[in-house]
Chains A and B, each alone.
Chain A
Amino acid sequence: MENVLSERAVLMWRMYEVIRLFIFLLLYVIAHFFVPMWVVLGLVCLWIADAILFVFFVPRWKWERWRYIIRDREIELEHGVWIRKRTLIPIHRVQHVDVKQGPLARRQKLASLYIYTAATAHEIPFLDEQEAEKLRYYISSLVKEDENDA
């Protein structure tokens, strides 16, 4: 099955970006006491461009690019706006699967799935709560099946 993230993931990313932009704004306000006027103007322009790009467009693109496919023998992840990444994790390499939920995500009933191998950790961000839980069960049952086969 080929799957995409929850639509609300876009909202989540936007929220994170807004928080980041707010922090940046604070830093800029502090910085403006120390730097000449033209730098301040530059920073303001940068901030506006940053806001438009990363609040309105990038989260949408991110969501569009995210795909995960879970097959009997492997998990395939595909994502990335600027750099497209495809990752292949064989099921029998999976050691454990976690579901994590931050405070913001909990309100939106979203959760992230973490897949661990002996060497790496992979994240599938912002799935629907139930979907994440379902996937966790599904992957661990696949792992068990694989172990029984071996």
Chain B
Amino acid sequence: MMHEKKRLHPIAIVIYIVKRLKQGPFLALALLLAIKKKTGDPFVDWMPLFLFLFYAMLAGYMSWRRFTYRLQENDMYIEQGIFVKKKRYIPFDRIQGISHSSGVLQRLVGVVQVHIETAGRQMDEPEVILSAVSIEEAKQIERAVHHKKRENIFIEIEDKTDAIFTLRFRDVLFLSITSGGAFGVIAAIGAFLSDFNDFVSFERLNIFFCADDTASTLIFLFVVLMIAYVLSVIGHLFRYMNFTVVKQDKTITITTGLLQKKSISTSIERVQAIAVKESPIRHLFGYVSVHLIHAGGALDDGRHGSLVLFPLVRKNEVASLVATCFPEYRLHDSFRSLCTRVRWRYMLRSLYTVVLIPVITIVFFQRFETLLLLVPAVYVGYRSYKRAGVTIKSEQLALRSGWLTIKTVYMLKHRIQSLTISQSRMQQRLGLCTVRATVMPGIRTKVVDVDEHKAQAIYEWFLGNKA
């Protein structure tokens, strides 16, 4: 029956233990080091580690043992906590979304992890995670929730009937190779290495390379960067393999992942805006990515409130693809650029962002080559001026801006929570404004240096607001 108390699948014990181990290695290491210095006895030395392992196992078992959930008429009841028992009722109509994923451990025994998202984001944890439940059970929970919400959609886990969008293998490959994430990893590794340099001098590393000058360190750096890049590419490959978007009635379901299979479903009503991003490299090949800005937690473990709908799509196909999912949005490319008097402001602003690099290299290393960096900076500034713009089409406001990556956000009037127009002293003199629109907490979109009259027109468009 529906009303019995249930436990998770016992594999959850292992999952909890792994989770605990991931949280606590530093603690265990610190303990280990602290004691190791004092005694020579191997048993005492390894004691903390064993204690920690034992604790993790016990805690993992206890958390499983104390975690129970029960589906009721109108809500879900969850009890958890090892020492302090936490009881939680989640009314079905408060549930914002359900998604499931399955990691390696879950797949081993054929269960899924269910995320349940609730609306009360400010009050307590936004989501409940059932780490391991059987697929039938997951479906039953989903059915119970949707039935109560009178949506009556059953989202089948392995259903590819009417896929709107799928990524082919070469698309995934291209996506991975051009991923901005790769550069992110490179930057992170670079930062780490600069610290690393202080601890371990590169002379010692030369043992591995049998060379003794800057060339070897450069090679070393290059190798590390390449490894980071390849790792990032592989990560992206795994993440976006089998990427499928399915639309059923008013629900959009996105399935992705090779090892860690993920399925995310969201209702169309919860989508607040649509963003189209053009990163420089992909733009060169005529590709863009489409993101949904939606209410509810961070379903996609990316940024909060943003969800990838189409990770890679040809620019000329975007409008028709989005129209099949969201008929009320009209994506277009008819942006008039801003007035010419702001061109210099955009180029200068772009200069400010990079000018620190040449200044530092000139002052500290007397290297003037980095001055060349200013040329592309000016160009990027000019490009971002050229691409920025604001357009109103009946009930839809579109803001486009960005420095390297150009982002266009399409918002419907009744989704905009508030609109702000601001003017600095300089902008007042030049008759310019900055336009900001907010559809989601934390996600603000703005366009700098819009003509005053145009900004006023947007303000008045929003003023005539109707429910």
Contacts and interface: CB of A to CB of B under 8 A. Distances in A.
B465 A74 contact: yes
Q: Is the interface of B mostly helix, strand, loop or mixed?
A: mixed
A109 interface: no
Most chain B CB within a 10 A radius of its CB, from A80, A88, A93, A146: A88
B425 interface: yes
Give the interface size class of chain A: 20 to 34
A74 B465 CA distance: 8
Contacts of B465: 73-74, 90, 92
Pick from A74, A120, A146 the residue with the most CB of B within 10 Å.
A120
Interface in A62-94: 73-74, 80, 82-90, 92-93
B140 interface: no
Contact of B425 (A73, A82, A118, A149): A82
B467 A88 contact: no
A122 B422 contact: no
Nearest to B458: A88
Given A83-B423, A88-B419, A149 B467 contact: yes
Interface in B226-279: none
A37 interface: no
Contacts of B463: 74, 88
Contacts of B438: 117, 119-120
A118 B422 contact: no
Given A74-B465, A90-B465, A146-B467, A85 B420 contact: yes
Contact of B421 (A85, A92, A146): A85
B95 interface: no
A73 B421 CA distance: 18
Interface string A2-44: 0000000000000000000000000000000000000000000
Contact of A88 (B418, B439, B440, B443): B418
B334 to A, nearest CB: 25
Interface string A110-150: 00000001111010000000000000000000000010011
A118 B295 contact: yes
Contact of A118 (B420, B441, B459): B441
Given A149-B467, A150-B467, A83 B440 contact: no
Interface in B298-315: none
B462 interface: yes
B418 A117 contact: yes
Bin chain B's interface residue count.
20 to 34
Contacts of B417: 89, 93, 117-120
Nearest to B441: A119
Contacts of B419: 87-88
Given A88-B459, A149-B467, A119 B423 contact: no
A89 B162 CA distance: 40
B428 interface: yes
A90 B438 CA distance: 12
Interface string B76-112: 0000000000000000000000000000000000000
Contact of A119 (B422, B424, B439): B439
B421 A86 contact: yes
Contacts of A93: 416-418
Interface in B59-80: none
Interface string B375-418: 00000000000000000000000000000000000000000111
A82 B424 contact: yes
23 contacts: A74-B465, A82-B424, A84-B423, A84-B428, A85-B422, A86-B421, A87-B419, A87-B420, A87-B421, A88-B462, A90-B418, A90-B462, A93-B416, A93-B417, A117-B438, A118-B417, A119-B417, A119-B438, A119-B441, A120-B417, A146-B467, A149-B467, A150-B467
Interface of A: 73-74, 80, 82-90, 92-93, 117-120, 122, 146, 149-150
Given A85-B420, A90-B416, 10 more contacts: A86-B420, A87-B419, A89-B417, A90-B462, A90-B465, A118-B440, A119-B417, A120-B417, A120-B418, A120-B441
